[in-house]
Amino acid sequence: MINVISGKSVRLGGIILALCGTLSCQTRPNLVIHQSDDLSVVLRTLPAGYPSLQPYAHSYVIQPTNTVNILESLKYKTGSVLPFSRGPHHNVFSRNQVARLAPALSQALSQAQPQDVVAFTVTDDARSDRRTKGLGFVVGNELHLIIEELRKPLYEGEQKTYQQQVSQWELLLGDGQRYYASRPGGKGAITNWIITPLR
């Protein structure tokens, strides 16, 4: 009877080991494309809490000059304490940030697998203790860019949700761009998630 139980235990252990091995083969570790003090670009899976739009159209080649144009087009406005008042418009990325981020973002998208997104963090030019953090991926022929943090001080706690804190800032739409909408018909627009057509 002891041999029968130990035989079943060995078989069960083998099945569990095989399942664990299969599951671990399906996800690959993060792939670092660029890592320095002022820029981090990594391929990873989409963080929990985001709606899944997989499979992504990766690998996808975007010429660095096109990536520069898209990043330079991103603008935001800050919230205002007065109702119906609009804050000033600002570039999301400075020219120096665009020059650093664009080639690495293009390279990452060209190396991405269908389950990968590009996670990036770029420090502020004037204040190296502030960072802008986001995600990028391609669905169909459209580039999705999510700005998770905008010039956020490094010492503040991590933000867990994909929507920025209310009334702090929002991205502004450029030519042909639209917000990701959480409901059909453009309802429930997420104003830190910009979709840009690539063709």
Q: What letter would DSSP give residue 161? A: S
Please check the confidence at residue 115 and state whether its pLDDT lies above 70.
yes
Length of the chain: 199
Question: What global pTM score does this model have?
Answer: 0.77
What would the mean pLDDT of 69-86 be, rounded to a whole number?
78
Which of 51-55, 56-60, 173-177 has the weakest average pLDDT?
A: 51-55
190 vs 133: CA distance, rounded Å: 16
What pLDDT score was predicted for residue 10? 44
Please check the confidence at residue 18 and state whether its pLDDT lies above 60.
no
Q: Are 129 and 115 in contact (CB under 8 A)?
A: no
Q: Are 143 and 198 in contact (CB under 8 A)?
A: yes
What pLDDT score was predicted for residue 38? 92
Indicate the pLDDT class of residue 95, thresholds 50, 70 and 90. very high
Q: Which residue has the higher pLDDT, 61 or 82?
A: 61
What pLDDT score was predicted for residue 163? 44
Q: Are 40 and 34 in contact (CB under 8 A)?
A: yes
Structure tokens at 191: 């104003």
Please check the confidence at residue 148 and state whether its pLDDT lies above 50.
yes
Q: Are 43 and 29 in contact (CB under 8 A)?
A: no
Question: How high does pLDDT run on average in the chain?
Answer: 81
Indicate the pLDDT class of residue 87, thresholds 50, 70 and 90. low
Q: Which of 117, 108, 163 is nearest to 139 (CA)?
A: 117
What would the mean pLDDT of 96-113 be, rounded to a whole number?
96
Q: Which residue has the higher pLDDT, 1 or 45?
A: 45
What would the mean pLDDT of 85-96 be, rounded to a whole number?
83
Q: Which of 133, 137, 153 is nearest to 145 (CA)?
A: 137
CA gyration radius for the chain? 21
The runs of H, that is alpha helices, within 27-59 are: none
Only one residue has tokens 């990325």, namely 93
Please check the confidence at residue 77 and state whether its pLDDT lies above 60.
yes
Q: What letter would DSSP give residue 84? A: T
97 vs 67: CA distance, rounded Å: 12
